[in-house]
Amino acid sequence: MKTRARVLLLAAVLASCLRAGTARAQLQALWSGERLQAGQAANLFARWEGEVPFYGTLLDVPPDWSVRRAWVVRPGRGPMPLRLDTLTSGRFRLRPDRPIDGPLVLCIETTPGGPGLALWQLASLEPSESSAKKLEPRTAEVQRQALFVQPADTENPRNYVLAVRRGARPLLVTDTLLRRLDLRHPFTVALWLKSTDRDAVVLSTWRGDEQQPYPIELVLDAAGFLRAYRGRPGRHQALITPRPVADGSWHHVALSYDPASGWTRLYLDGRPADSLYVPDVTSIDPPEALALGGRPGQMETDFGGLLDAIVLDRHAWSAAQVRRLFRRADPPADGLRLDFEAATLRLPPGMRRRRADLFFFEPLQHLQALSTDDGQVLLSWTCTDRQTRAFVVERSTDGRDFAMIARVPADCSGLPFTFRDPSPPDAPVLYYRIQQELEGGVLYPSAVLKLGRAPVQSGRALLVGNFPNPFQGRTTIQYELHEPMPVRLSIWDLSGHEVRVLIDAVQSPGRYTLTFDAADLPSGTYFLRLETPEGVQTHKMILVR
């Protein structure tokens, strides 16, 4: 960012997500893309705050990942690089030259290795009791996160996106609809975005002149968060996403403006992210152009990444509309919709059309796995996507190498779908995933289900849950005991009333499975409650009709 004062960009970069606390705990959140692509750049993020300075952290990633560099961003200050030491394959030490007071955001630039389930973790470093110069990991404070790495050649053969190379000339969009961006009329701007860049303008109507009012500018800030700006001379207002967006995976961004109510709302991946209330907004001169990948009049962009399905609508979309439309390849737009399917589209140097791993469909929901008393495994999920033709069920013993065990016709009515694995291998942990087979034979994997099959540890009672969930009428409940103990298993509704007692007795050690028939109960949310001398465990169940 060269034209806007740097303090404006960074002064509030972490304001909505970083607040110094009084607790000793430092690592407050980890962020990464849910789906990355093998061999393509990705960023990992963490939030650090509290009363103890940041001395550094240990980073563990899969051995076939590479880590190039790391830095921290503090409110009102520029990025500060960290020293990166390789300890062993997949283990790195990240530390500053001197301790840094929080709050801050930690950013790590990586390249994922092979496809499959991947885990990464951070452990805080602190001076040892024997020597202040020696740093040791704080084992009680380890944060882990799982993600899925897609094969390098994953792409949607039915869709083109816009690839923007850093240094390209921004693509200018001129349309009579831009006249509505005068802050007197409602509008919605929406797009799909994939990038690892920071301090980069994604989309803008502002030329960088502090005296020029403007209705919208989308920026990836120094910490990877996305900010939506609008401004008047000497004043810039901003909304910010609650998590970094520049992580190397696809994100949907929508900004709606309703002058009648005074609300401007920012959405990320179909969910509300931030809002701004300003009543009686004074109108401005509408912009002459909307620039993609930079600002109007800018010769070279600082942004590099992928864009698609850009919409400028005459109406302010509600939260329900955003949630319903953001996964559609051709969302109905009363205005301008820009995709990149046409080969005749004229693009400036540094931009091109290409295939990518952006799929427009509804992914599977409510995935569950359950071991039965006879050694089999039950899987359950729900599907509402009408493009899905079949489910390809895959299994793994290590979470990385999956083999197909079945292909079954799809049922995407939204009701629970159940699959039984009759002969699972004898392993302490099994991993399952379901590939949605879309039109044209395209496969898209679900999140990975991890199922532990080892006996419950000594001295514990475990409420496994119910299966399927959501359920219609009947569901299977499972819990485990390691020693004899009194057990009370009951069902409660949302109002706090006990509606059914299933078990109230002393039971022997073992795994217990029973069927709950809810034929006489209305649809809604219920809670399964297991009471033992070990304590109380609860589990949410959803009954649908």
Q: Which residue has the higher pLDDT, 35 or 214?
A: 214
SS3 323: helix
pLDDT value for 33:
92
pLDDT value for 455:
58
In this prediction, residues 124-139 reach a mean pLDDT of: 79
Tokens read off for 402: 């999956």
CA distance to 124, 371, 405, 425, per residue, from 428 (Å)? 30, 12, 19, 9
At 524-543, the pLDDT tens digits run 899 999 998 888 888 888 88
Q: What percent of the chain has pLDDT over 90?
A: 53
At 326-365, the pLDDT tens digits run 988 888 778 899 889 887 888 999 999 999 999 888 889 8
Per-domain residue ranges for the chain? 6-150, 160-355, 365-452, 461-543
Give residues with Cβ within 8 angstroms of 272, minimum separation 6. Answer: 265, 266, 319
Same fold across 365-452 and 461-543: yes
Q: Please tell me the CATH code under which domain 160-355 is placed.
A: 2.60.120.200
Residue with the two structure tokens 């959803």? 542
Task: Categorise residue 187: left if φ over 0, alpha if ψ from -120 to 50, beta otherwise.
Answer: beta
Q: Which fold has domain 461-543?
A: Immunoglobulin-like (2.60.40)
pLDDT band at 85; cut points 50, 70, 90: very high
Q: What is the pTM of this model?
A: 0.78
CA 53 remoteness from chain centre: 28
CATH architecture of 365-452: Sandwich (2.60)
| Mean pLDDT score across all residues of the chain | 87
Tokens read off for 386: 């009408």
Indicate the burial class of 264 (C-beta count within 10 angstroms; 0-12, 13-18, 19 or more).
buried
- For domain 6-150, give its CATH number from 2.40.50.1070, 2.60.40.680, 2.40.37.10, 2.70.40.10: 2.60.40.680
At 11-62, the pLDDT tens digits run 443 343 433 333 454 788 899 998 899 999 999 999 998 778 999 999 999 9
pLDDT value for 2:
44
Indicate the burial class of 281 (C-beta count within 10 angstroms; 0-12, 13-18, 19 or more).
middle
Q: Cis before residue 522, ω within 30 degrees of 0?
A: no
Q: Which residues of 60-75 are buried (b: 16+ CB within 10 A; e: fewer)?
A: bbbeebebeebbbbbb
At 425-437, the pLDDT tens digits run 988 889 999 999 9
SS3 441: helix
